[in-house]
Structures are given as structure tokens and as C-alpha cells.
């Protein structure tokens, strides 16, 4: 009985009847209104109440259906994420590349996954890696060199996808950060991208780190980093503290082409002749 009394349908029917009777009775007080017209008008008023209930019910069903779809999408996304993580450990390089692209696709369609996917790709780049392009004590032969080259191409895919996931410089929205400390990188280009905090302490870069037109809104740290190739800072902007202590770069660096909110720290850093420091 209590459940029946709480039913919206019951209260809608009662309200419709009350409105029908009330409007009809009120109109009948006017002698110029016929009984038929009063009853017709009352019925329209009561029907309007029922129509409003129908609209509310349809909206409620729509929201329930949307919630159900969202739950299903979340479940599918979670399963896709878990499967991709599992495939990153596959021995076949093409499978690992496919898993990375699957993660990047998930980051594009589900914004809440973007930072998580970036963390996973950065973690992959922190895995132990050796290649003839890096100073190494490994005795390379054709087989080991070919295997290292295949892995380098997989890691290059991770580097490109990191760039693709990051938002463009000058845009608004969530700030995404990168943790590349202790990673071995080949060709990381963040051209025209917006990054929050970027930490790459103790990492080693074989070819280049290209920050052309990049916007770094958080702390930027390259402590104890070796870049065997180039560090390009053309039109890059650094909005917070920049730590470059013990940074070693193989080719001349021009810091004057970048914008720094604070003077960078260069303690123990080594740059070849021809480099230009900020303010030079």
C-alpha cells in the first residue's frame, strides 16, 4: 500500500482528476460557459498534467539508458586498457607497437585515460635498453644488433605517440606531465606541444630532444642527463623552474632562442663551443 502511494503514476492520475474536476467546476460558475465546453477544457487541463508526466518519464528513461551506455563504455575501455598493457610484454615487436597504438586511441577517445597512458608509455621507455647508438660495452653481432634495432623502432613509436597525445601549445584544458627519468631515448620531439611537469633526470638521448615551440608550464628538469646529439629549444617557453645541472650535450645549444620565466640552473653542465647561454 505504501509503495502504491509513492507511485508517481498514481499521483499523476489523481492530479489529472483533481485538475479536471477543479477547472470544470470553476468554468461552470460562469453562466456563459456551457457544460460541454467546461468539461472539454477541464479534460485538456487534466491531460496536460498526464502529458507532463509522460515527458518526465521519457527523460528519465533516456538518462537511465545513457548511464547504462556510459557504464558499458567504461567497462569496454577498462578491458581494452588491461589487454593493451598485457600485450606490451609480448615478444613480438609488432604486437607491442599495436598495443601502444591501442592505448593512444583510448587516450584520444577517453580523456580521463590520457595521463595514465602517458605514464605507461614513459614507463616503457624506462625499461632497460641497449643499442649501438649509445656508448656500450656490448659485443654486437648481426643478430643482437638486429634485435636492438627492432626494439629501437618500437620505442620510437612510443616517443611519437607521447607527442601525439599531448595537447597543442596555446590551448586550454587539463595539464599532462611526463616522467622520463632514467629512460633511454632516441628521437623525442615535443614540437608545439603543451606539457605540465617534465622530469627526465639521469636519462640518455641518442639523437635529439626537440622542444621547438613547446610550452612547459611546470617544472622542467634535465639533471645529470646526456644528450649525444642536439637539444633544440627554438621558441620554447618555460614558465617555471628549469634545472639543467650536470647536463651534457654533444652539439652546440642556443638557449637565447627560448623564453625562461626563471634563470635556469647550470651547475656542472657541459656544452660544446658555439653554445649560447640565456642572456648572451
Element (H, E) at 62: helix 35-87
User: Across residues 161-170, what is the average pLDDT?
Assistant: 96
Cell of 112: 580521463
**Element containing residue 201 per DSSP (H, E):** none
Give me the mean pLDDT over the 110-120 stretch: 95
* Residues 159, 175: Cα–Cα separation, whole Å: 18
CB 191 within 8 A of CB 169: no
The residue among 58 and 148 whose pLDDT is bigger is 148
Query: Per-residue pLDDT for 71 more than 70?
Result: no
Give the range among 109-118, 127-136, 239-248 with minimum mean pLDDT.
127-136
Q: Measuring CA to CA, which residue among 225, 169, 159 is closest to residue 194?
A: 169
pLDDT of residue 190: 97
Is 139's pLDDT higher than 90? no
Cell of 30: 460562469
Q: What is the pLDDT of residue 5?
A: 45
Q: Is the pTM of this model over 0.75?
A: yes
**Mean of the pLDDT values across residues 139-163?**
94
Q: What is the pLDDT of residue 83?
A: 92
Average pLDDT over residues 27-48: 53
Residue 77's pLDDT band (boundaries 50, 70, 90)? confident
Q: Is the pLDDT of residue 231 over 90?
A: yes
DSSP 8-state code for residue 70: H
- Band of the pLDDT at 92, cuts 50, 70, 90? very high
Q: How far is it, in rounded angstroms, from Cα 223 to Cα 148?
A: 27
Task: Return the pLDDT at 78.
Answer: 82
| SS3 category, 185 | strand
pLDDT mean over 150-156: 96
CB environment 108-128: b (16+ within 10 A), e (fewer): eebeebbbebbebbbebbeee
Contact 254, 280 (CB under 8 A): no
3-state secondary structure of 148: helix
For the stretch 167-182, pLDDT in tens is: 999 999 899 999 999 9
Amino acid at each position: 500500500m505504501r509503495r502504491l502511494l509513492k507511485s508517481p503514476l498514481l499521483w499523476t492520475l489523481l492530479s489529472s482528476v483533481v485538475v479536471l474536476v477543479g477547472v470544470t467546476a470553476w468554468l461552470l460558475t460562469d453562466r456563459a460557459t456551457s457544460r460541454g465546453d467546461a468539461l472539454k477544457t477541464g479534460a485538456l487541463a487534466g491531460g496536460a498534467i498526464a502529458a507532463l508526466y509522460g515527458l518526465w518519464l521519457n527523460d528519465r528513461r533516456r538518462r537511465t539508458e545513457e548511464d547504462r551506455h556510459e557504464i558499458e563504455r567504461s567497462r569496454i575501455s577498462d578491458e581494452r586498457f588491461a589487454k593493451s598493457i598485457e600485450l606490451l610484454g609480448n615478444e613480438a615487436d609488432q604486437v607491442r607497437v599495436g598495443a601502444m597504438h591501442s592505448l593512444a586511441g583510448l587516450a584520444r577517445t577517453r580523456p580521463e585515460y590520457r595521463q595514465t597512458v602517458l605514464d605507461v608509455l614513459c614507463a616503457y621507455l624506462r625499461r632497460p635498453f641497449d643499442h649501438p647508438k649509445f656508448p656500450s660495452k656490448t659485443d654486437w653481432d648481426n643478430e643482437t644488433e638486429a634485435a636492438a634495432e627492432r626494439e629501437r623502432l618500437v620505442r620510437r613509436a612510443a616517443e611519437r605517440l607521447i607527442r601525439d597525445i599531448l595537447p597543442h601549445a596555446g590551448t586550454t584544458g587539463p595539464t599532462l606531465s611526463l616522467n622520463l627519468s632514467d629512460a633511454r631515448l632516441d628521437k623525442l620531439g615535443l614540437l608545439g606541444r603543451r606539457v605540465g611537469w617534465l622530469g627526465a633526470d639521469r636519462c640518455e638521448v641518442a639523437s635529439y630532444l626537440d622542444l621547438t615551440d613547446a610550452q612547459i608550464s611546470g617544472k622542467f628538469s634535465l639533471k645529470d642527463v646526456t644528450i649525444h646529439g642536439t637539444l633544440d629549444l627554438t621558441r620554447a617557453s618555460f614558465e617555471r623552474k628549469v634545472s639543467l645541472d650536470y647536463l651534457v650535450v654533444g652539439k652546440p645549444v642556443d638557449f637565447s632562442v627560448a623564453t625562461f620565466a626563471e634563470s635556469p640552473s647550470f651547475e656542472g653542465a657541459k656544452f660544446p663551443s658555439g653554445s649560447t647561454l640565456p642572456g648572451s
